[in-house]
Structure 1
């Protein structure tokens, strides 16, 4: 066991923070509640969609990685999900989406 919080708990925290700030958050695909991966689609105020996920940074530490594809974001996450049924996909729509994602995922 690595001491990380269960993914389901992280998702709940992200949704609550986003909704409490006046933004909107929703689960697009539910994965494994304990150890599933987490893909966050952050929608910026200018309606730009970005895909963020936990990964390993260049220094070997946990980092928030921008995985935004050049093509359609919906098609990208659906392909990822078809290969990994444990993957959670969460959409956060609001000005603080990236900040909340970083604070929640990187501080668990």
Structure 2
């Protein structure tokens, strides 16, 4: 059986890496501290928002999946959160946000 770090610890590590790297991050919704899913909203240099989360890629391995809706990112994550109160929602703003997300939540 494969063990994973608790979700709360992964979110804390992700926020700390963003802060230390000169970016900014904040928790929009707290999920289950042990096993909640993590949905990350990445704000790009052009101020567009992308939604990323851990999932299964086409090769069957764990991957960072882009689940960005066509419009209304806020409404999307709020609907997801209403259906899954254990879900963490994190917003990251900085040039390294996507790389830090992949390195932190995929390599636990």
TM range (shorter): over 0.9
Deviating beyond 6 angstroms after TM superposition, the runs of 4 or more aligned structure 1 residues are none
Q: Write the mapping of 1:16-31 to structure 2, written as runs, cut at 5 A.
A: 16-31=16-31
| C-alpha distance in structure 1 between counterparts of 2:47 and 2:105, whole Å | 23
Matched length: 108
Q: Does 1:74 align with 2:80?
A: no
Residue 38 of structure 1: how far off its partner (Å): 0.3
Q: Give the aligned CA root-mean-square deviation in angstroms.
A: 0.8
Task: For structure 1, list consecutive stretches of 5 or more residues without a partner in the other structure.
Answer: none
TM-score, scaled to structure 2 = 0.98
TM-score, scaled to structure 1 = 0.98
